[in-house]
Amino acid sequence: MSVLLQLYVRLFIVVYGLYTFFNRGVAYTYLAEITWLLGIVLVVRYRKQLYLARDKSMLILLVLLGLNLVYMARGFLEYPVMEVVRDSFMLNYAGFVVIIALLKPFHKQILSGFAVVYTWFPWLVGAIFLLRAWNPYWNEVALFGGIPLFVYKNGDLAVHLLISTILLLTGKLQLKPRMYVLQIIITAYLFLLTATFNRGGMLSFLVGISVYFFYIRKTDFAKSIFRYLRLAPILLLIAVPLYTATKIEDKTQGRNTGLKQLEQNFTSIVNRNIEGGLNDNVLWRLAWWGKIIDYTILGPYILHGKGLGVNLSVDDDIPMEDDSLRSPHNFHMNILARFGLPIALLWLLWIYLIFKPLFKEGLTTQRLFYASAILAFLVNATFDVALEGPMAAMPFWIFVGLYLDEGAHEKLQTTLS
């Protein structure tokens, strides 16, 4: 196998680890985009070795990527090139699916690298939270693009916690028994933190883990896990004091760590009568989504959307302190606003096809793991600007690629048998 591909795989794992550990803090290194570009070059170089999964979801994804190129060409006629390119990456990041297909011979190495990343992930991120609570100075330290290095997007944190939790429960992380228990405690601690600051992230974790447990509930493996879950109340009693001792404030949303805030976040999911910032955030999102529906499904942009390059918050007349937020806190609404209803429906069809195997028997535990992670990413992207940026988009599309490859392997095994 090519030395170039071997070197690229090492870079691939390192970059994935950096984004998992530091998230927004390294977004402006553009390492994800550099890794994407190098990967696309290698796809062209080794195209004869490329094997794409042959199913409808892959076909639709390739169609979406082709249409995105058309919209880029349209955008270049009206808006600055960099703004168009920036917006186009909401779908261009899907190129990682094709890159993963090229790296099929290295999947075991990639997954081993990811296991190392998620072994260290809770400890490093937990230490960063404690460091920020101990000295607020660490909330402001920035190395790249003026973004604080240690301030994590809490929705992304929740999804990575889900991935780490499933890997931990399935024995993919090589830990001694004592460290195993400690990692569960630190994971619970981090979940309480992310549930404090981001309800969408909290929901993405709960949905992902619930789907995973639902599908394995009848297996012998599940029975052993459920026995360990009896210890959950004890582990929470240990994690809660650590959580309450971590005093961190989110100045943007006006939320502080504490059991009261945590309770409000949980209850606000089903109770819309809570006053204050929590309800205001919901109304603000609904107002913007309503405008998008008005000018697309019910208006003049139904067929083609507003395109790439336009700052939607400005064009939609959404009050903002600055113009840094260009898109609504919902990836699906962003597609509808920029591409119009036909492409939005194509996107929804792709989602349906991706999860269609969940409604059938015989899904492998590995593919179920990928599906749970993908679902969590999509839930998070429904309430935040997530898949538009590399911190969530890179891992999301990587997991999609692994999921499709696992599906192709299943079909091959079925055919051979």
**Mind listing the pLDDT tens digit for each residue in 189-228?**
898 888 887 888 899 999 999 999 888 887 777 777 777 6
For 198, phi and psi rounded to 5 degrees?
-150, 105
- For residue 359, pLDDT over 90 is answered with no
Q: Average pLDDT in the 46-61 region?
A: 91
- β-strands 147-148, 255-256 pairing: unpaired
Instruction: Check: CB of residue 145 under 8 Å from CB of residue 22.
Output: no
Instruction: Check: CB of residue 208 under 8 Å from CB of residue 162.
Output: yes
Residue-wise pLDDT tens digits, 64-78: 999 999 999 999 999
Instruction: Check: CB of residue 41 under 8 Å from CB of residue 170.
Output: no
282: left (phi over 0), alpha (psi -120 to 50) or beta: alpha
Residue-wise pLDDT tens digits, 97-114: 999 999 999 999 999 999
- For residue 264, pLDDT over 80 is answered with no
255: left (phi over 0), alpha (psi -120 to 50) or beta: beta
What is the value of pTM for the model shown? 0.92
Amino acid at 324: S
Residue-wise pLDDT tens digits, 155-174: 999 999 999 999 998 889 88
Q: Average pLDDT in the 352-374 region?
A: 88
Burial of 7 (0-12, 13-18, 19+ CB in 10 A): exposed
Q: Average pLDDT in the 360-369 region?
A: 83
C-beta neighbour count of 148 within 10 angstroms:
15
Task: Please state, in angstroms and rounded to a whole number, the distance separating the CA atoms of residues 36 and 42.
Answer: 10
Amino acid at 295: Y
Instruction: Check: CB of residue 392 under 8 Å from CB of residue 377.
Output: yes
- Which residues, listed in sequence order, are joined to residue 142 by a DSSP beta bridge? 148
* H/E element, 255: strand 255-256
Cα–Cα distance list, 54 to 13, 96, 404, 412 (Å)? 26, 17, 9, 11
